[in-house]
């Protein structure tokens, strides 16, 4: 547990200060074959792999910059799936219940061309139904990155022998 806290503390502090550089995480193996992930390999272990992670940039847009509207009705499974999709990605949205509301029904029909839910507006993109690919594409189309939709900026490579010796000595 303590071995995990050190790298996690470093990553947390970097995220808190929003620094834009890469972090190296080493996979270390002890003589019994147990493996751990560390910022450097402790004595008695040998590095067997290394990953570099980009921590991002403070210039990236915030997910709060996304303008999203979700048209729903009660007891709608697809509506719930879209709601959960947006919530899990940290996207704030305005939810409009069109059930029994003629003004919202007219608004929905004007925007989507039909009276069908769920309808999600992300920026200028209209998505009818629950379609993860279209929702993800619409979010990415805003230029705002969402951690759950990004591929991690990880570069995995074996550790050179001379570096293994150097890290094992630390």
Q: Report yes or no on 119 lying in a domain.
A: yes
Residues in the chain: 170
Whether residue 19 sits in one domain with residue 68: no
Q: What is the domain count for the chain?
A: 2
The yes-or-no verdict on residue 59 having pLDDT over 70 is no
* Residue 34, domain extent: 2-56+153-168
Return the minimum-mean-pLDDT range out of 58-67, 103-112, 159-168.
58-67
Percent above pLDDT 70 for the chain: 64
Q: Assign 124 a pLDDT band (cuts: 50, 70, 90).
A: confident
Instruction: Output the average pLDDT for the chain.
Output: 77
- Write the secondary structure of 29-90 as one string of H (helix), E (strand) and C (coil): ECCCCCEEEECCCCCCCEEEEEEEEECCCCCCCCHHHCCEEEEECCCCHHHHHHHHHHHHCC
What would the mean pLDDT of 40-64 be, rounded to a whole number?
Answer: 69
Q: Cβ distance 25 to 53 under 8 Å?
A: yes
Percent above pLDDT 90 for the chain: 38
Q: Report yes or no on 30 lying in a domain.
A: yes
Q: Cβ distance 112 to 87 under 8 Å?
A: no
Whether residue 73 sits in one domain with residue 121: yes
Whether residue 18 sits in one domain with residue 67: no
Give the DSSP H or E segment for 118. Answer: none
Q: Report yes or no on 32 lying in a domain.
A: yes
Return the minimum-mean-pLDDT range out of 17-21, 134-138, 154-158, 163-167.
17-21
């Amino acid at each position: 547990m303590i071995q995990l806290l050190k790298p996690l503390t470093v990553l947390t502090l970097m995220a808190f200060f929003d620094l834009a550089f890469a972090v190296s995480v080493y996979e270390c193996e002890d003589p019994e074959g147990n493996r751990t992930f560390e910022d450097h390999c402790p004595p008695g272990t040998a590095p067997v792999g290394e990953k570099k992670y980009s921590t991002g940039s403070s210039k990236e847009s915030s997910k709060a910059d996304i303008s999203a509207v979700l048209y729903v009705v009660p007891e709608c499974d697809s509506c719930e799936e879209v709601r959960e999709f947006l919530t899990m990605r940290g996207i704030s949205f305005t939810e409009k219940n069109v059930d029994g509301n003629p003004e919202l029904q007219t608004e929905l029909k004007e925007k989507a061309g039909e009276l069908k839910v769920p309808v999600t507006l992300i920026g200028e993109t209209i998505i009818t139904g629950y379609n993860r690919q279209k929702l993800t594409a619409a979010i990415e189309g805003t230029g705002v990155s969402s951690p759950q939709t990004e591929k991690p900026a990880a570069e995995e490579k074996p550790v050179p022998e001379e570096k293994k010796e150097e890290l094992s000595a630390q």
